[in-house]
Amino acid sequence: MAASGKGRGSLVADKRYTPARQTPARNTGGGGGTPPRRPSRGSGSGRPPRKRGPIGRVFFGFFGLIWRIVWGVGWRLGVVGGSVLGAAILYFLAQLPDVEQLVDARSRGSVTFLDREDKVYAWRGETFGGMITADTVSPFLHDAVVATEDRRFYRHLGISPRGIASAIRINLSEGRGPLEGNGGSTITQQVAKLLCLGVPYDPAQWESEADYEADCRRGSIARKIKEVPYAMAMELKYSKEEILTIYFNRAYLGAGARGFEAAAQRYFGKSANEVNAAEAAMLAGLLKAPSYFAPTNNMDRARARANVIIGLMEEQGYLTADQAEDARANPARLSEAAASRSGGFFADWVMETAPAFLTKQTTEDVVIRTTLDQRLQKAAEEALAFVFETKIKQGSNAQAAIVVMSADGAVRAMVGGRKIEAAGSFNRATQALRQTGSTFKPFVYAAALDLGYSPSDFVEDIPLTLNIPGSGPWTPKNYDNEFKGLITLTQALAESRNIPAVKVSEWVGRDAVRQVANGFGIKSNLTDVPSMALGASEATLLETTGAFAGILNGGSAVTPYGLVELSLQGESEPLIGATGGIGERVIQEQSARYLTYMMSQVIEAGTGTRARLEGRPAAGKTGTTQAARDAWFVGFTADYVAGVWMGYDDNTPLTGVTGGGLPAEIWHEVMVRVHEGVEVKPLPMDIPEPRVPPQQQYPEYAQPLPDQPAQPQRDRSQEDPVESLLRDLLGLY
């Protein structure tokens, strides 16, 4: 059909058919046009696909292949790893017991020591204070632990990848290995370590429980990998509060305390359910390093750590600003028993005297009632500190030990060294065997008195030489290198004259002297030589003090003891009773009373005047060994016996120290404090009848002791001739 010709194009006939292939004409300005290009696949634009060069195709093809391999292997490994992790979680889940079976981590028990008034003063072993739960523990302690150890505790499933990554970053920045130092462990992971990932303690595999726990804490990669499913299994088995309950009961918190209940009792004398914010912060601070931050070790350090915890609690909203400020202003204080730290050496000694299966190796919780008097213990410790602070130059390594006991051998106080040391430290009161020196001389005179001699009898203090078989001549000397001539036995002991002591010992017989000394408790092998009379043999301070207690009680043997009764915790019937006390008679009571008089003169007018107690009768004996390696003073009042030893651990000679010097002053300070408020009592002693020296035979030596009235000369006409001759030869009258 033709067009009408009004500016429009000419009409054409309709196309009925479409050819198989048609090439469109270019648009030359008419009504036709060029059709748009076919868009490339995946592209919204009309641009043609970009053609890569040969290098591009190789590069992208290679990495495409790598990605397809990684993806293919990765999702398969993920499936396998997830399956293994799930199987491990199920395996550990099936092994986890109920919470109640996990709260007590100890394989051994504890020993709690009570003083004579049934107050706790020391612990040994690992103490478990009893089960506490996260629901009943003090809210301050609950929050302090969470704030310190795992602030995201309630938001994770047992592990915290963010915490681990942060710990690795910190370790590497400080020059450590990635797993050394900060571990990034959650509380759940820490509990897993405390449970040793389910591996029980086996004595056949580990030498000690400490080795077992050290192995459990070792941070190897293999252990970390195992820790993950174990922690996740715990999250499935237990609630968050149950996990905290296990943590509260199993964590070691220093000073032998296992769990927060034991720690609260040990440090503050109260339950973990009752601690305030400051106490809770100090307890939580122990988790980082129990021994280092223990308040009994260094209170300033413990309080500084507690302030850090208080800051964390305030920052995380567990404490208000006012509560935090109050906790800082009123820091935690140790209980009286923990603060005094008294009786440590005493407790060690009692542990040694009781059966090991009920002390060191006990699997039960044991309670031991003892003879310790904490007032007397404090008095002894303060007296020793006072003398060393005021009478001895700073930096001195000299050591000292003290024992205080009753006349029946009940030990009331014991100081095993100048400084309070860790449990099990060397105890110089019970373990140090030292030469006794002149403190042995009372046993020489005890033997003579028991054979009928009087304190008023005379002996010659003149040069003496004895021939020792196998050794040759031996000439003892007095400490002042002087001779007093004819003196009484009382004066000889009071002035600690050596030659008279040797003469008396040889006269009565060394066997008799040894028998008396052994009977009173000197258990050492006393040498069978004349120098035995001068204390050449060794003994401990405890033995020597116990031997003097035998003199005070009237001449009966004494076995020093500290244990009154031992029982299992919660049981009323004791398993063991007291094992010491007064034993058999050694010398007659009259002899003991005479000897007490002689020893009183040591303090009144002899070598021990520095020990004199104003207004209170006392008796004692000084002792200084060869080259002044040991200095002693042992003595008693009517109420207590006390012994003091002083010297160096390496046997270095003391400079300018004798038994009548610093040891006597320490003894004086101890006894003044010990007798505060104690009624003054007379000593159990008899004053002997004085005698006149044999002026007719030795007029040049006729020097009676002062204030002694003249008495008729002793009648020797009825004596055995042989006995009389021996007495003349030895100069004993």
Hey, which residues are catalytic here? 149, 438
Cβ atoms of 611 and 702 closer than 8 Å: no
| β-sheet bridge partners, residue 567 | 367
H-only helix segments in 468-526: 489-494, 498-508, 510-520
Cβ atoms of 133 and 271 closer than 8 Å: no
Give 578's DSSP letter.
-
Q: Is 317 exposed, middle or buried (0-12, 13-18, 19+ CB in 10 A)?
A: exposed
**Among 121, 521, 129, which residue's Cα sits nearest to residue 348?**
121
Instruction: Give per-residue burial for 296-310: e unless 16+ CB within 10 Å, then b.
Output: beebeebbebbbebb
Cβ atoms of 244 and 145 closer than 8 Å: yes
Ramachandran region, residue 256 (left: φ > 0; alpha: ψ -120 to 50; beta: rest): left
Alpha-carbon dihedral of residues 102, 104, 108, 110, nearest 10 degrees? 180
Q: To 10 degrees, what angle do helices 441-450 and 510-520 make?
A: 110
**Among 325, 295, 330, 292, which residue's Cα sits nearest to residue 311?**
325
CA distance 264 to 251: 13
Residue whose tokens read 């990932």:
197
State the CB neighbour count (10 A cutoff) for residue 564: 22
Residue whose tokens read 């040969």:
54
Give 253's DSSP letter.
-
State the CB neighbour count (10 A cutoff) for residue 454: 17
**Among 396, 371, 385, which residue's Cα sits nearest to residue 420?**
385
> Which amino acid makes up residue 106?
R
| β-sheet bridge partners, residue 125 | 110
> Which amino acid makes up residue 105?
A
CA distance 733 to 726: 10
Ramachandran region, residue 21 (left: φ > 0; alpha: ψ -120 to 50; beta: rest): beta
Longest dimension (CA), the chain: 190
| β-sheet bridge partners, residue 556 | 585
**Cβ neighbours of residue 213 closer than 8 Å, sequence gap 6 or more:** 196, 252
Cβ atoms of 535 and 440 closer than 8 Å: yes
**Among 316, 332, 339, 296, which residue's Cα sits nearest to residue 143?**
316
